[in-house]
Amino acid sequence: MDQQSEHDISTALYHAAVGKLVLDHMERTHPAVISQVVENQAVQTLEAIRCILENSRLDDRACEERIRHLVQLFFQDLGIEIRRRTGRT
C-alpha cells in the first residue's frame, strides 16, 4: 500500500471516529436544542444575504461577488468543496 493510500485510510478512520463521537453527543442532546442551533445559523445567513441585497452602494456585479463569497463560506463551514464554472474569463 502506498503512503497516500495509508494517509487516506487513517484520515477516513479519524473522520469516522469523530463522526461517531458527534453522533453520540447529539443523541444525548435534546432535538429541540439542535433544531434551534440550525435555525439560528440559517437566520444569520439569510440576514447577511438580505443586508447585501439591500446595500444600494453595491452594483450588481459587486453584489453577485459578495453573495458568491457567502455561499462559498457556507459550504466551507460544511466541509463541502464546490467545483463550478462561472462562465467568466
pLDDT of residue 11: 87
- Report CA-CA distances (Å) from 50 to 33, 44, 57, 70, 84: 26, 10, 14, 12, 24
Residue 25: C-alpha distances to residues 3, 22, 29 (Å): 33, 5, 6
> Which residue has cell 459578495?
66
What residues have CB less than 8 Å from 67, skipping those under 6 apart?
A: 49, 52, 53
Range of the domain at 52: 3-78
What are the pLDDT digits (tens) for 33-82? Answer: 878 888 888 888 878 877 777 777 877 787 778 777 877 777 777 676 66
Asked if the structure places residue 83 within a domain, the reply is no
Cα gap 61→71, rounded to integer Å: 15
Task: Give residue 4's pLDDT band: very low, low, confident or very high (50, 70, 90).
Answer: low
Instruction: State the pTM of this model.
Output: 0.42
Residue 84: pLDDT band (50, 70, 90) is low
Position 73 scores a pLDDT of: 78
In a domain? residue 85: no
pLDDT at 86 over 70: no
